[in-house]
Amino acid sequence: MDLFAKCAQGHSLANKAREMNVYPYFHALESRQDVQVVMEGKRRIMLGSNNYLGLTTDPDVIQAGVDALRRYGSGCSGSRFLNGTLLLHQQLERELADFLGKEDVVTFSTGFQSNLGIISALVGRNDYVICDRENHASIYDACRLSYGTMLRFRHADMQDLERQLQKVPQTAGILIVTDGVFSMGGDIADLPEITRLAKQYGARVMVDDAHGLGVLGKGGRGTASHFGLEKEVDIYMGTFSKSLASLGGYMAANANVCDYVRHTSRPFIFSASITPSSCATALAALHKLQAHPELVDNLHKISAYFRQKLLNYGIKIRISETPIVPIYTYETMETLSVTKQLYDEGVYVNSSLPPATPEHECLLRTSLMATHTEPLIDEASEIIYRVLKANKLCE
């Protein structure tokens, strides 16, 4: 059989969505990533971005990127391991470690690559990695890249986590990995119980805080800070592409763990380092977060305002404490149709479909920025209500 036969057949759902003119992907931006954007020639209210603090348009953040581009050039043309380390990389790692209260930080070229690099380096042939079933895809790929054994527990089910821990031989190393904030549902991991079980069974804990940094905790320090469990969580992983308005990822941990990863992680050793401009903008965004912790408060206030507006309209949502506000639309094609109607009416949202959600529990995944205003949320909420009501998805 020809390897490319499946390519000619295409992806069945994508083809069906195209035929029905409800294909939701690859819409092109013609403006900055902001609360309002121009996308394919029309103004849209942006409710589908992970730009939680709204810093992609901050003048100081942009200027830092411009200055770094002029000083260091467009790229490093090599890995951190060899010729690709800048003083800027080291400054970012040092300041981020201080901010998070960890001994050291390792930066990676992307968030996805961070998980690949951390887990594949630490989980060896005789080790076990135990994952929440709703963890990010990069965690699953990282487990496949490692030589360890992966076990999964039902989402947020601490009894099932303990059952998986009981399966592990006493001689094996164990890493429990969980998202801090789950990217589709917006719910927060039960870190108090996870860390308690980890201590009981001699496991280490790693939190993917891609959607937690800048969102939860003291001054936006993340999920562990939210629960006061900074010392109990061994590894923080995060990204610069969300709250820190740039590109790249990181690992924060004890110095000896970071040093081990720097010297054994193939995704780290054999990848080019973060570009100077990306590094500088992440650092400037971190400075902005440190100087303006009220950004986190603003984010929570506008998120609560949006949730209440939707509830007042009789719209069924998943309740959470985060800026991720999922709206139930249930069926796949209905969800795609509603997403297209909202897009045409001037509101951009993301479709959350199986396997990201269970069958018959599809969602519109909306997300807020600290820079959204109440009038803008009023406008978007009214459009969402009007479209959902026309589709008999609310009262």
Residues 280 and 300 in one domain: no
In-domain check, residue 267: yes
296's enclosing H/E stretch is: helix 294-312
Tell me which residue of 366, 381, 369, 368 sits closest to 328, measured CA to CA.
366
In angstroms, the CA 143 to CA 175 distance is 11
Q: Supply the residues annotated as catalytic.
A: 183, 211, 242
* Strands annotated E in the chain: 36-39, 42-46, 104-108, 128-132, 149-153, 174-179, 204-208, 235-239, 249-253, 324-330, 347-348, 350-352, 362-367
Q: Which amino acid is at 102?
A: K
**pLDDT per position as a tens digit, 42-89:** 999 999 999 999 999 999 999 999 999 999 999 999 999 999 999 999
In-domain check, residue 280: yes
Residues 53 and 63 in one domain: no
Question: Would you tell me how many other CB atoms lie within 10 Å of the CB of residue 269?
Answer: 16
Residues 269 and 330 in one domain: no
Tell me which residue of 357, 380, 348, 379 sits closest to 24, measured CA to CA.
348
Per the CB < 8 A criterion, the answer to whether 268 and 261 are in contact is yes
What's 175's domain CATH number?
3.40.640.10
**Domains of the chain: total:** 2
Residues 158 and 272 in one domain: yes
Given CA atoms 175, 181, 187, 190 in this order, what sign does their dihedral have? positive
Residues 333 and 285 in one domain: no
Do β-strands 204-208 and 235-239 pair in parallel, antiparallel, or remain unpaired? parallel
Q: Which pTM does this prediction carry?
A: 0.97
Among 257, 276, 291, identify where a domain stops.
291
With 0-12 / 13-18 / 19 or more C-beta atoms within 10 angstroms meaning exposed / middle / buried, residue 143 is buried
In angstroms, the CA 189 to CA 207 distance is 9
Q: Which amino acid is at 385?
A: Y
How high is the pLDDT of residue 1?
80
Q: Determine the structural domain holding residue 14 and report its residue range.
A: 5-57+293-390
Question: Would you tell me how many other CB atoms lie within 10 Å of the CB of residue 116?
Answer: 26
Phi, psi of 273 (to 5 degrees): -75, 165
Q: Give 317's DSSP letter.
A: B
Length of the chain: 395
Query: Phi/psi class of residue 27: alpha, beta or left (left: φ > 0; alpha: ψ in -120 to 50)?
Result: beta
283's enclosing H/E stretch is: helix 276-291
The H helix count followed by the E strand count for the chain is 15, 13
How high is the pLDDT of residue 357?
86
What's 32's domain CATH number?
3.90.1150.10
3-state class of 125 per DSSP? Answer: coil
In-domain check, residue 395: no
The parts of the chain modelled with pLDDT lower than 70 are none
In-domain check, residue 123: yes
How high is the pLDDT of residue 12?
86
How high is the pLDDT of residue 280?
98
Residues 30 and 95 in one domain: no
Given CA atoms 374, 375, 380, 382 in this order, what sign does their dihedral have? positive
How high is the pLDDT of residue 9?
78
**pLDDT per position as a tens digit, 204-216:** 999 999 999 999 9
How high is the pLDDT of residue 69?
98
In-domain check, residue 378: yes
Per the CB < 8 A criterion, the answer to whether 212 and 230 are in contact is no
Among 291, 316, 346, identify where a domain stops.
291
Residues 83 and 230 in one domain: yes
Residues 35 and 169 in one domain: no
Residues 84 and 229 in one domain: yes
How high is the pLDDT of residue 268?
97
